[in-house]
Amino acid sequence: MEGLLDAPLRDVLTRTGGIDRCVSEFIRVTGTLLPERAFRRVMPELDHGGRTWAGVPVRGQLLGSDPACLADNAARLAEMGSPGVDLNFGCPARVVNRHGGGAALLQEPELLERIVAAVRRAVPAHVPVTAKMRLGFHDDLDAEVCAQAIEAGGASELVVHGRTKAHGYRPPAYWERIADVRQAVRIPVVANGEVWTVADARQCIADSGCDALMLGRGMVADPGLALAVRAELGWLPGGLPTPGSPSGADWATLQPLLHVYWALVAPRVVPRHRPGRLKQWLNFLRRRHPQAELAYQAVRTLDDPRHIERWLHEHVPLPAESDMPEAPTPAVCGDNADLAEPTR
């Protein structure tokens, strides 16, 4: 989810617990072997064993359409220590689809298989190669065919977002079609799309038949969602019971994480766009937490980072000193990456 679930938010959300693994924002591959700094810019976890501060592994995600070039970049990503390589066949963004990437590839199942097979050959056998797809591009008629092509290429797991490219992010997600895809392949299938609450999670599992979920915007809006799902349903992905699991994150727990998030955003985003990042997260949080609505209204008109910092220190409890991130080497992103709409 480009421009939303970046490294700072991955760090913060995995601190709340309940998450087994993450994928990075997509790393765009357009015909060249990217330098290591390009991978680290999107996935700074590579400097920490491919894990977030909380120890959650992050798989680097590649987006492109050329099998040989994707294979070369996957090999480099694996050499840098990524715990896995994920392939993006789900992005609905027009600029991506216009260049034949993301969900546009679902129109060419044979190419899907060639991409996955090339990447699988390029990385060591112990490095998982996984993929995420939507149900289709214009329609969902070839959803099973695409999933089978991805399986035939050698993917070890498939995440299915329960909408087509044409559906975008409009509700509902068609979880029952994920069940059809799951029946068509032998590899594990993970359900994704429109899971905002524990009730949604329960229904998604029932409709899809999957025993694992990928959470996106729902986790951004409710960072305690993964823990709440575990507590309510009593399982880990794979069906293992989790007796005594906590039931989510309340506002008192989340408040100090605003400081952590701000500290992580500062070295990565140009100053004039830093307030926008905090507002973006608060805008999601107010869907679940009434207190976040008050915080959002308080900072909504603030555009100077110094004013944001003053508000944080005056109104938000500080986290424990050991929870604050060390000041990293600045790696400020360009303006075009700062407030992008989510595309995955």
Distance CA 181, CA 122 (A): 27
* Cβ–Cβ < 8 Å for 195, 227: no
Question: For the chain, where do the domains classified as CATH 3.20.20.70 start and end?
Answer: 7-233
* Cβ–Cβ < 8 Å for 113, 148: no
What tokens were used for 87? 């392939």
pLDDT at site 133: 98
Residue 267 reports pLDDT greater than 70: yes
In the set 69, 91, 146, 204, the catalytic residue is 91
Question: For the chain, where do the domains classified as CATH 1.20.225 start and end?
Answer: 251-337
Distance CA 344, CA 216 (A): 9
- Amino acid making up residue 78: A
pLDDT at site 233: 82
Distance CA 259, CA 339 (A): 20
pLDDT at site 234: 79
Q: What is the mean pLDDT of residues 248-260?
A: 90
Residue 89, classified by CB atoms within 10 Å of its CB into exposed (0-12), middle (13-18) or buried (19+), is buried
Residue 118 burial (CB count, 10 A)? 19
Distance CA 230, CA 219 (A): 13
Q: What is the mean pLDDT of residues 40-47?
A: 97
pLDDT at site 341: 32
Residue 263 burial (CB count, 10 A)? 19
Among 109-123, 186-200, 326-340, which is the least confidently predicted range?
Answer: 326-340
pLDDT at site 342: 36
The CATH number that domain 7-233 falls under is: 3.20.20.70
Residue 82, classified by CB atoms within 10 Å of its CB into exposed (0-12), middle (13-18) or buried (19+), is buried
Q: Given its phi and psi angles, is residue 31 left (phi above 0), alpha (psi -120 to 50 degrees) or beta?
A: left
What tokens were used for 318? 């500080």
In this predicted model, what pLDDT tens digit does every residue of 281-310 receive, in sequence order?
Answer: 999 999 999 999 999 999 999 999 999 999
pLDDT at site 219: 96
Q: What is the mean pLDDT of residues 174-178?
A: 98
Query: Of the candidates 150, 157, 199, which has an alpha carbon nearest to the alpha carbon of residue 175?
Result: 199
Q: What is the mean pLDDT of residues 54-81?
A: 98
In Å, how far are 11, 164, 253, 300 from 274, measured between CA atoms?
17, 33, 23, 13
**Residue 91 a catalytic site member:** yes
Task: Please name the CATH architecture into which domain 251-337 falls.
Answer: Up-down Bundle (1.20)
Q: Concatenated DSSP letters for 74-105?
A: HHHHHHTT-S-EEEEE----HHHHHTT-GGGG
Strand partners, 59: 23
Distance CA 219, CA 213 (A): 11
What tokens were used for 33? 């072997």
Which residues, other chains included, contact 197 with Cβ-Cβ below 8 Å and sequence gap of 6+? 218, 222, 225
Among 2-11, 39-48, 108-117, which is the least confidently predicted range?
Answer: 2-11
Query: Of the candidates 18, 30, 14, 167, which has an alpha carbon nearest to the alpha carbon of residue 90?
Result: 167
- Tell me the pLDDT band of 327, cut-offs 50, 70 and 90: low
Residue 126 reports pLDDT greater than 80: yes
Distance CA 204, CA 214 (A): 11
Residue 334 reports pLDDT greater than 60: no
* Cβ–Cβ < 8 Å for 115, 87: yes
